[in-house]
């Protein structure tokens, strides 16, 4: 069954070891921030630093593994229509919108949406790390390290699929930052198999 996450919102749910999670971009050019926590101990959490170190690559795709802060594999990427995701930047937040966009009355962003969705699982705001940002397109100038946030390369219906390698709590959003989503807020869908 396909579930829909409304524009600029987020959700959380459990994913059992062996299940797959397919994240769907139904309209195209929409980012979804993905977090994963171990159900056995929520202090074990997805880690960009461990994952990138083991991959020796910033752009992850089919065949790559997402590690926890304890160097355990949490999720394997088993299918990917797009091949461009970001694993550098934290979920957008009130402060992101104030600092980067200069918003006077900023939206709570993916960060606020994840805080609300993960609270029932006992996960505190400070425990939200860098998310795996599905479909987020952050090209990098290798010589200077400068990067920009460009519209996603995903087209309507494109997907990325993960297999759980442990029992997980997943946080997932339809990203709330204009720049990350080509200037328009759209829904995200997902399916568990």
Site residues for a copy of itself per CB under 8 A = 43-45, 47-50, 52-54, 56-59, 69-71, 88-90, 93, 95-96, 99-100, 124, 126, 128-130, 139-148
Q: Least distance (Å) from a copy of itself to the CB of residue 92?
A: 8
Nearer to a copy of itself, 111 or 190 (CB): 111
Nearer to a copy of itself, 141 or 193 (CB): 141
Nearer to a copy of itself, 70 or 157 (CB): 70
Q: Are the beta carbons of 174 and 186 closer than 8 angstroms?
A: yes
Long-range contact set of residues 146-150: C-beta below 8 Å, sequence gap at least 24: 147/88, 149/89, 149/177, 149/179, 149/180
Which residue(s) pair with 94 in the sheet? none
Q: Least distance (Å) from a copy of itself to the CB of residue 103?
A: 13
Burial grade of 142 (CB within 10 A; 0-12, 13-18, 19 or more): exposed
Q: Least distance (Å) from a copy of itself to the CB of residue 91?
A: 8
Q: Least distance (Å) from a copy of itself to the CB of residue 53?
A: 5
| E strand or H helix that includes residue 99 | helix 94-99
Specify whether the backbone of 40 is left (phi greater than 0), alpha (psi in -120 to 50) or beta. alpha
Nearer to a copy of itself, 22 or 42 (CB): 42
Burial grade of 187 (CB within 10 A; 0-12, 13-18, 19 or more): middle
CA distance 165 to 72: 9
Q: Least distance (Å) from a copy of itself to the CB of residue 37?
A: 11
Q: Least distance (Å) from a copy of itself to the CB of residue 97?
A: 11
Nearer to a copy of itself, 24 or 37 (CB): 37
| Pairing of the two strands 32-38 and 132-134 | antiparallel
Joined tokens for residue 114: 């994840």
Nearer to a copy of itself, 58 or 192 (CB): 58
């Amino acid at each position: 069954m396909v579930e829909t996450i409304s524009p600029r919102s987020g959700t959380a749910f459990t994913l059992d070891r062996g299940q797959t999670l397919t994240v769907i971009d139904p309209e195209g050019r929409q980012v979804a921030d993905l977090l994963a926590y171990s159900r056995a101990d929520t202090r074990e959490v997805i880690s960009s630093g461990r994952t990138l170190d083991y991959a020796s690559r910033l752009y992850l795709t089919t065949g790559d593994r997402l590690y926890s802060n304890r160097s355990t594999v949490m999720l394997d990427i088993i299918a990917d229509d797009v091949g461009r995701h970001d694993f550098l930047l934290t979920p957008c937040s009130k402060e992101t919108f104030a600092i980067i966009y200069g918003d006077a009355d900023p939206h709570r962003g993916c960060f606020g949406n994840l805080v609300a969705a993960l609270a029932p699982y006992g996960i505190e705001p400070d425990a939200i790390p860098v998310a795996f940002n599905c479909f987020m397109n952050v090209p990098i100038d290798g010589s200077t390290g400068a990067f920009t946030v460009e519209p996603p390369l995903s087209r309507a219906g494109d997907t990325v699929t993960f297999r759980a390698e442990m029992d997980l709590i997943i946080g997932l959003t339809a990203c709330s930052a204009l720049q990350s989503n080509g200037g328009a807020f759209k829904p995200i869908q997902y399916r568990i198999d």
